[in-house]
């Protein structure tokens, strides 16, 4: 049985193609600087958005018309697995990601939830055996059920802390079983609404303890996936503890966890934090903490996490610039933590959306590689910081100066000359590269 009978394997047809079921720029086998596009981009599909999402919003019911909608319970979970693997193969994406509750329904007890998971995990494992699909990461949904009203590891209820630990323990076992390359911790409701009723110190200490126990358990069972924290500044809570990469990195260092974690950086979370996507990628990269990416984009006119498919070429280019400068994503990938709009409710839209995202990152990859090859940004940055390559600047970066010496230098100066930042010139050049990359 086929869930998408009208769609065949999506392949590359080039920039002139008007076939909506074809890639125009993503050519998986094309070599870019020694690696294929597929190897660079390591695309992944988010199970929750593509196979579980009903496309509801706070004011309206779900609109999604899905070929598996006729099923319920475990039959629905199984139908979704069948549909998912058909989709992965047709769209030619090598990885997927899921939360525990995305793949199997919660039972009336934790034991029953485990049993449901075991059935579906066995089915997924079976599907993975003779296909090319791999698990980029899995995670625990410790935020949707009402028990998580006060958080999970940072809940005011110790029983919820324990329950959350049990779900992560099971998640690590599943990750090991399916060969996950990473395991993700997104803070969910790890944060608070009001300081008036919150023991901030206890909550953060508990979060630190929780992560240590997760690291210990992974070691115990030989799960070798990379642990990733996914920062987000707000939503659902007003103050999320993993606000952004800088805050998360300080947290990890404070609790002695910095060697066990990297970051999973989501574009829309970056912009919610008042940063650009590339800022978060850069911050993680320069600290050797860039692990993986949730590829999406926000709506600058809305103040929440809209999880749109990435189509902004400027953003994909600057993101790929950071990823290439990082030497790639290692065990990470570009996971489309993105959903079709509520008005794009047909199953075909799932294909169109992923094609749009994959083509946008393929363009970003090619343009970023050309910018790097021509040292476009490096030339501007080098000349802007020239003053640190000679004279007093060189002494400063070598650590050879103190305030006495610097004061003496300052007193000897006439009027200080500064240089233009040239931002408009740089942006114009990036536009030229964007337009010329496929000319």
**Which residues are tagged catalytic?**
99, 102
Which residues 239-278 are close enough to bind ligand XUL by CB under 6 A? Answer: 266
Please answer whether residues 245 and 293 qualify as being in contact, where contact means their C-beta atoms are separated by less than 8 angstroms.
no
Q: Please give the residue whose beta carbon sits closest to ligand XUL in the complex.
A: 186
Report the nearest approach of ligand XUL to the CB of residue 255 (Å).
21
The binder of 184, among Co ion, ligand XUL, none, by C-beta within 5 to 8 A per type, is ligand XUL
Are the C-beta atoms of 138 and 100 separated by less than 8 Å? yes
Q: What does 135 bind: ligand XUL, Co ion, none (CB cut-off 5 to 8 Å by kind)? A: none
Contact status, residue 160 vs residue 148, Cβ threshold 8 Å: yes
Applying CB under 6 A, among 24, 40, 90, 232 the residue interacting with ligand XUL is 232
Residues 72 to 101: which contact ligand XUL by CB under 6 A? 99
Contact of residue 275 among ligand XUL, Co ion, none (CB under 5-8 Å per partner type): none
Cα separation, 269 vs 405, in Å, equals 44
For 288, other C-beta atoms within 10 Å of its C-beta total: 10
Closest CB to ligand XUL among 12 and 47? 47
| Residue 173 contacts ligand XUL per CB under 6 A | no
Binding-site ranges for Co ion (CB under 5 A): 266, 294, 337
What does 232 bind: ligand XUL, Co ion, none (CB cut-off 5 to 8 Å by kind)?
A: ligand XUL
What distance in Å separates the CA atoms of residue 318 and residue 5, rounded to the nearest whole number?
37
Contact of residue 305 among Co ion, ligand XUL, none (CB under 5-8 Å per partner type): ligand XUL
The site map against ligand XUL for 97-126 (x = CB under 6 A) is: --x---------------------------
Those residues with Cβ within 8 angstroms of residue 429's Cβ, 6 or more apart along the chain or in another chain: 376
How far is it, in rounded angstroms, from Cα 306 to Cα 267? 11
Please tell me the distance from the alpha carbon of residue 54 to that of residue 76, in angstroms, as a whole number: 13
Residues 204/273, Cβ–Cβ less than 8 Å:
no
338 interacts with ligand XUL by CB under 6 A: no
**Cβ within 8 Å of residue 266, ≥6 positions away:** 230, 231, 232, 293, 294, 296, 337
Residues 284-323 that bind ligand XUL (CB under 6 A): 294, 305
What's the closest the beta carbon of residue 328 comes to ligand XUL, in angstroms?
Answer: 21
Of 317, 316, 326, the residue nearest 369 (C-alpha): 317
Q: Does residue 280 touch ligand XUL according to CB under 6 A?
A: no
| Residues forming the site for ligand XUL (CB under 6 A) | 99, 139, 184, 186, 230, 232, 266, 294, 305, 337
């Amino acid at each position: 049985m086929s869930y998408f009978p009208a769609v065949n394997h999506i392949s590359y047809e080039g920039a002139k193609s008007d076939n909506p079921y074809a890639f125009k720029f993503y050519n998986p086998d094309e070599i870019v600087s020694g690696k294929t596009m597929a190897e660079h981009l390591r695309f992944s599909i988010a199970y929750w958005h593509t196979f579980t999402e009903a496309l509801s919003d706070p004011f309206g019911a779900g609109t999604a018309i899905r070929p598996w909608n006729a099923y319920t319970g475990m039959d629905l979970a199984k139908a979704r697995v069948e549909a998912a693997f058909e989709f992965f193969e047709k769209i030619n994406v090598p990885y997927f990601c899921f939360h525990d509750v995305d793949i199997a329904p919660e039972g009336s007890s934790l034991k029953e939830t485990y049993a449901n998971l075991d059935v579906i995990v066995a089915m997924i494992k079976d599907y993975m055996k003779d296909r090319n699909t791999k698990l980029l990461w899995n995670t625990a949904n410790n935020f949707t059920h009402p028990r998580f009203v006060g958080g999970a590891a940072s809940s005011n209820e110790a029983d919820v802390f324990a329950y959350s630990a049990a779900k992560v323990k099971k998640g690590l076992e599943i990750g090991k079983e399916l060969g996950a390359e990473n395991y993700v911790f997104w803070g969910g409701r790890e944060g608070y609404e009001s300081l008036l009723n919150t023991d901030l110190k206890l909550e953060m200490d508990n979060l630190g303890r929780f992560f240590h126990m997760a690291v210990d358990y992974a070691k115990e069972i030989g799960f070798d996936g990379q642990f990733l924290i996914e920062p987000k500044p707000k939503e659902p809570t007003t103050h999320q503890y993993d606000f952004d990469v800088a805050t998360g990195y300080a947290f990890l260092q404070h609790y002695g966890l910095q060697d066990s974690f990297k970051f999973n950086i989501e574009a829309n979370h970056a912009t919610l934090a008042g940063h650009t996507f590339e800022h978060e990628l850069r911050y993680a990269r320069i600290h050797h903490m860039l692990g993986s990416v949730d590829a999406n984009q926000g709506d600058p006119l809305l103040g929440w996490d809209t999880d749109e498919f990435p189509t902004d070429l400027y953003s994909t280019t600057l993101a790929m610039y950071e990823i290439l400068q990082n030497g790639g994503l290692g065990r990470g990938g570009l996971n489309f933590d993105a959903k079709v709009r509520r008005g794009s409710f047909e199953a075909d839209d799932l294909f169109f959306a992923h094609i749009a995202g994959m083509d946008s990152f393929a363009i970003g990859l090619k343009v970023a590689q050309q910018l790097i090859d021509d040292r476009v940004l490096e030339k501007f940055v080098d000349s802007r910081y020239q003053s640190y390559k000679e004279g007093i600047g060189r002494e400063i970066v070598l650590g050879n100066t103190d305030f006495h010496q610097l004061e003496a230098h300052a007193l000897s100066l006439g009027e200080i000359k500064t240089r233009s930042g040239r931002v408009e010139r740089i942006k114009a050049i990036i536009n030229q590269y964007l337009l010329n990359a496929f000319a």
